[in-house]
Amino acid sequence: METHISCLFPELLAMIFGYLDVRDKGRAAQVCTAWRDAAYHKSVWRGVEAKLHLRRANPSLFPSLQARGIRRVQILSLRRSLSYVIQGMANIESLNLSGCYNLTDNGLGHAFVQEIGSLRALNLSLCKQITDSSLGRIAQYLKGLEVLELGGCSNITNTGLLLIAWGLQRLKSLNLRSCRHLSDVGIGHLAGMTRSAAEGCLGLEQLTLQDCQKLTDLSLKHISRGLTGLRLLNLSFCGGISDAGLLHLSHMGSLRSLNLRSCDNISDTGIMHLAMGSLRLSGLDVSFCDKVGDQSLAYIAQGLDGLKSLSLCSCHISDDGINRMVRQMHGLRTLNIGQCVRITDKGLELIAEHLSQLTGIDLYGCTRITKRGLERITQLPCLKVLNLGLWQMTDSEKVRTYDLRMVT
């Protein structure tokens, strides 16, 4: 007896279609009525984000998305009113408007006119016309929001953060990258330092403050006191914070990832504060901190030996610092030491000898290493990623290196 795919029960077809990419799911739905019915089963589209160009009216668009159970939408270009989306997706869970440069406060205000209890994630990154007025609407009508992306929304001020702190108590992740008007006052609002006006977002687990130039150590004091459940903190390019601020962070037991990349005032003293506290970091990035040197590696070995990822690109470290660190860092998985021009083959040999669990290493611009040190590194049993940019090799050495199963 001959068996054909058309004989399969719709439930089995739906299971098979669930493994297809989004485009092929759509193609399968066009084959025949039976396949369309199976392909429209909600299990097939679970977790899928619809990517839409909103240019002209399409009455069947949103009913089709809802029939498939799609609740996550990214708007790639916005030529119609945002309210068209909100009205069409009654149970929308995630809305990504990143890069919709023509979105204004007025457009967002017309869309958010009543409570949208289902919405959990909103991305407004690079929507540069958005101001505090929109944040007032969001705080009023999106009280269930857990993720808010505002990176590059450069018109937002401390007043906007006060509104967020007032209305979005369920917020878990907040991205404020390059919101350059923000200061310590705004961070105080988030951390509940102005309880008479706003409770604060005390449940925050991830906070990105990259390139917020007006922040000082006082912001770190507010964070340490009010945001005690924070797990990820990105302070990269915040030139106003110093070693003294890290003393405030050093007792945040929940913190797992700290990014201090290009924080020019951070030195070995700041790393000492972190290491002497009660932190249990798994990831630390101090790349391009010019004042971080070998002494920091000794502190890291003493108090931050649970790190899984460590980035030290362009720091003033040498083989001596590597020697002081690697003997205590057996759990390290990723090590980025690109542009550390004082590292030689000796440092690579120490890494190869002691960091047997390493899966990735960045040696970009380490101009003093040679084939000998590189061959030791490539013998690491778990190594999967090796970045060798700007390392000078002859053609024969390149062949030899690539034969050692490395990706460059």
3-state DSSP of 148-211 = EECCCCCCCCHHHHHHHHHHCCCCCEEECCCCCCCCHHHHHHHCCCCCCCCCCCCCCCEEECCC
Residue appearing with tokens 């009508």 = 141
Average pLDDT over residues 386-404: 53
Q: Which own/partner contact pairs does 16-20 have at CB distance under 8 Å and 24+ positions apart? A: 17/41, 17/44, 18/43, 18/44, 18/46
What contacts 171, CB < 8 A, 6 or more positions away?
A: 145, 146, 147, 148, 164, 201, 203, 204
pLDDT at 406 over 60: no
pLDDT for 143-189, tens place per residue? 999 999 999 999 999 999 999 999 999 999 999 999 999 999 999 99
Q: Determine which of 25-34, 162-171, 245-254 has the lowest per-residue pLDDT on average.
A: 25-34
What are φ and ψ of residue 261, in 5° steps? -55, 130
Percent of the chain with pLDDT over 90: 71
**What integer pLDDT is reported at residue 396 of this predicted model?**
44
**What integer pLDDT is reported at residue 3 of this predicted model?**
65
Return the bridge partners of 361, or none.
335, 386
- CA 232 remoteness from chain centre: 9
Q: Specify whether the backbone of 148 is left (phi greater than 0), alpha (psi in -120 to 50) or beta.
A: beta
**What integer pLDDT is reported at residue 54 of this predicted model?**
79
The 8-class DSSP code of residue 348 comes to H
pLDDT at 407 over 60: no
Closest CA to 293 of 244, 229, 343, 255: 343
Domains present along the chain, CATH in parentheses: 1-46 (1.20.1280.50), 49-241 (3.80.10.10), 282-407 (3.80.10.10)
**Of all helices (H) and strands (E), which one includes residue 74?**
strand 72-78
Helix orientation angle between 268-276 and 294-303, rounded to the nearest 10 degrees:
0
Return the bridge partners of 232, or none.
206, 257
**What integer pLDDT is reported at residue 405 of this predicted model?**
42
Tell me which of 254 and 52 has the higher pLDDT: 254
Closest CA to 285 of 303, 300, 273, 298: 300
Query: How buried is 375 (Cβ within 10 angstroms: 0-12 exposed, 13-18 middle, 19+ buried)?
Result: middle
**What integer pLDDT is reported at residue 298 of this predicted model?**
97
**What integer pLDDT is reported at residue 400 of this predicted model?**
38
pLDDT at 307 over 60: yes
Helix orientation angle between 319-326 and 294-303, rounded to the nearest 10 degrees:
0
Return the bridge partners of 258, or none.
233, 284
CA–CA separation, 215 and 182 (whole Å):
7
* Residue 357 · residue 331 · CB < 8 Å: yes
Confidence of residue 13 (pLDDT cuts 50, 70, 90): confident
Angle (CA) 136 142 148, round 5°: 80
Compute the mean pLDDT over every residue in the chain, rounded to the nearest whole number: 89
**What integer pLDDT is reported at residue 2 of this predicted model?**
60
Confidence of residue 350 (pLDDT cuts 50, 70, 90): very high
Residue appearing with tokens 């929940």 = 254
Residue 403: CB atoms within 10 Å: 9
**What integer pLDDT is reported at residue 148 of this predicted model?**
98
pLDDT for 76-89, tens place per residue? 888 778 888 888 88
pLDDT for 112-151, tens place per residue? 999 999 999 999 999 999 999 999 999 999 999 999 999 9
Confidence of residue 393 (pLDDT cuts 50, 70, 90): very low
Q: Determine which of 26-40, 140-154, 285-299, 331-345 has the lowest per-residue pLDDT on average.
A: 26-40
* Measured CA distances, 330 to 309, 336, 363, 394 (Å): 12, 16, 19, 33
Query: How buried is 79 (Cβ within 10 angstroms: 0-12 exposed, 13-18 middle, 19+ buried)?
Result: exposed
Average pLDDT over residues 270-282: 97
**What integer pLDDT is reported at residue 394 of this predicted model?**
44
Structure token pair of residue 46: 């679970």
Give the side-chain half-sphere CA count within 13 A for 80: 15
* Residue 172 · residue 146 · CB < 8 Å: yes
* Residue 171 · residue 207 · CB < 8 Å: no
Confidence of residue 391 (pLDDT cuts 50, 70, 90): low
Q: Determine which of 35-39, 219-223, 341-345 has the lowest per-residue pLDDT on average.
A: 35-39
pLDDT for 30-71, tens place per residue? 788 777 777 776 676 677 788 888 777 777 788 878 777 888
Provide, for the chain, the percentages of residues in helix, strand and coil under a 3-state DSSP scheme, each rounded to the nearest 5: 35, 15, 50
pLDDT at 1 over 60: no
Average pLDDT over residues 199-203: 95
Tell me which of 196 and 368 has the higher pLDDT: 368
Average pLDDT over residues 252-268: 98
**pTM assigned to the model:** 0.89
